[in-house]
Amino acid sequence: MLAASSAEAFTGSAFTGVTPKLRNTAIATRAAKSHGPDMSLVLVTGASRGIGKAIALELGKRGANVVVNYAGSKDAAEAVAKEIEGMGVKAMAIQADTSKQDEVIAMYKTIDSSFDEPISAVINNAGITRDTLVLRMKYDDWKAVIDVNLAGVFLCSQEAAKRMLKKKAGRIINISSVVGQIGNPGQANYAAAKGGVLGMTKAMAKEFATRGVTVNSVCPGFIESDMTAELNAEYMEEVKKMIPLGRLGYASEVAGMCAFLALDPACNYVTGHSFNVDGGIAIGQ
Ligand code: NAP
């Protein structure tokens, strides 16, 4: 997959006048040297369900080895790992609450000792909501959302960076949200966390760039998942009216963007940016 995509980028003048076989070998060699991560080993946090599961499956489909992190859904996470192994790559489910530093450190140690290759990308996807209006929001609801959706991204990125900076290659992809860009009533905690992720992405991109590690974020809009299933039907009809493409997104659509950022050689030169997969909702009406 990596070599095939790179080959398309290397069909220019450097290879004119050589035999197709030699040309293909040269293309493959240059392609192998050009992409950031070597053999891909990608950690997806919160991959037992929803968007994270779709990302993990897409990565497996594209030939990456995958670590399926989860908080409590052991059976579901192991089923995802099994499905990925059925694609002919390695996969492993690992429990860790990403908001807890000791659990994150232990997860990375397990990854280090279980795979031959170092981690090449992390998709920081684990997230929760505790929605309510500001005047009713309990401090615990504020803190729980900040801990998982913001501190968790920091902790998992920090451990990933320790390994990637040494290797001078790696990709960190943070799942933010359009809510971090445009706000949403009832989600002050979530908006703060997701907006924080956008700022942190840019700071980390600047810190890590000289060592070949890229950091980007993805902002999904309203995507069909357990998270949006909790929202009331009347509200969702109103939401759909605000989406230029007129429908909710699919987890597979977010997964495609994440797999592109994590694996495709075209993204070697992309860092510090956020990519919306939102049906156009963030551009407003
Ligand atoms: P979801 O269906 O509720 O799934 C959440 C996933 O995160 C589960 O795998 C869950 O694991 C895991 N998780 C939760 N807390 C965790 C923790 N402390 N440590 C490790 N894993 C944890 O959510 P989703 O809709 O797929 O959302 C995924 C991401 O996309 C989130 O960051 C969310 O904010 C973002 N997002 C979603 C939408 C949307 O419309 N759905 C829109 C924008 C952004 P367990 O199953 O083990 O609990």
Q: What is the per-residue pLDDT across 100-116, written as a single tens digit (0 to 9) for each?
A: 999 999 999 999 999 99
Confidence (pLDDT) at 231? 86
156 lines ligand 1 (CB under 6 A): no
Domain contains 6: no
The answer to the question of residue 25 being in a domain is: no
CA–CA distance, 158 with 122 (Å, rounded to integer) = 11
In a domain, 27, yes or no: no
Residue 25 CB contacts under 8 Å (≥ 6 apart), including other chains: none
The whole-number pLDDT of residue 14 equals 33
| Domain of residue 238, residue span | 38-279
Q: Determine the pLDDT at residue 38.
A: 56
Cβ contact 254:217 at 8 Å: no
Which ligand 1 atom lies nearest to the CA of residue 126? 7
180 part of a folded domain: yes
Strands 121-124 vs 170-175: parallel, antiparallel or unpaired: parallel
pLDDT for position 56? 99
Judged by phi (left if over 0) then psi (alpha if -120 to 50, else beta), residue 162 lies in alpha
Give every residue of the chain whose pLDDT is below 70, as ranges: 1-38
Catalytic residue IDs: 190
Amino acid, res. 21: K
Number of domains in the chain: 1
| Ligand 1 contacts CB of residue 126 (under 6 A) | yes
* CATH number of the domain encompassing residue 58: 3.40.50.720
Quick check: is 3 in a domain? Answer: no
Q: Is 71 in the pocket of ligand 1 (CB under 6 A)?
A: yes
Identify whether 54 is part of a domain: yes
Q: Residue 5 falls within a domain, yes or no?
A: no
Residue 221 in any domain: the answer is yes
Task: State the amino acid at position 136 in one-letter form.
Answer: R
Backbone angles phi, psi at 100, to 5 degrees: -115, 120
